[in-house]
Amino acid sequence: SLEITKKNVDSPVIRANNLRLPVKSESVDVVISTGVIHHTSDPLKALSESCRVLKIGGKMYLKIYRRGSYYHCLHWSLGGIMRLVRKRNSKTTNWLDRCAFRVYCWASRILKRTRTDNKTYLRALYEDYFYNEQTKFLSTEKLSDALNGNGLSFERFVSRRPTDLYVAHKTASALP
């Protein structure tokens, strides 16, 4: 993503920890966070950091996995079982994982016809969807409260399975 952005945008691009952004407060015009904060150990802190660096009048585009979506259910049910089985670290576990990955690739090809067949990319998605223990699913209410509490007002909200897209602008500094 960073390489694509560097090629297409004449602005500085950084890779950083979303819990401690190395950027001055209220110094950024636009924050784009697609599929990031729900993978941090503290998504509300990560969101606050993104809000902190945004200038008053700046825009935020935030896309997160939706609590209660099919992905949320798969991650905690099937993914929970898969994470438990993987911890056994046996030949059977490895065989089951390879079979599950093949099923995932097959289902992905049917359900997401435009998705790539690149096995490295698909493996990364598969690992994220089922094995990432850190993934958190925030409710719309909790996320809305956090955005409002950090001085942002909604312009638009779009709910699409399994993600929600929030478009907001900063109207004030974070509340004390």
pLDDT single digits (tens) 67-118: 888 888 889 998 999 998 888 878 888 888 899 999 999 988 888 777 778 8
Structure tokens at 134: 């850190």
Separation in Å, CA 60 to CA 6, 107, 108, 110, 154: 19, 33, 30, 33, 9
Under the banding of pLDDT at 50, 70 and 90, the label for residue 10 is confident
d(CA 58, CA 173): 11
Structure tokens at 139: 């409710």
Phi-psi label, residue 152: left if phi above 0, alpha if psi -120 to 50, beta otherwise: beta
The amino acid sitting at 95 is W
Q: Could you report the per-residue pLDDT of 139-176, keeping only the tens digit for each?
A: 888 888 999 999 999 888 888 778 889 999 999 887 55
**Parallel, antiparallel, or unpaired: how do β-strands 54-65 and 28-34 relate?**
parallel
d(CA 110, CA 102): 13
Would you say the C-alpha torsion 39, 45, 48, 52 has a positive or negative sign?
Answer: negative
Helices marked H in the chain — which ranges?
2-8, 43-53, 70-76, 78-86, 91-111, 119-131, 140-149
Beta carbons of 34 and 63 less than 8 angstroms apart? yes
Q: What is the pLDDT of residue 175?
A: 54
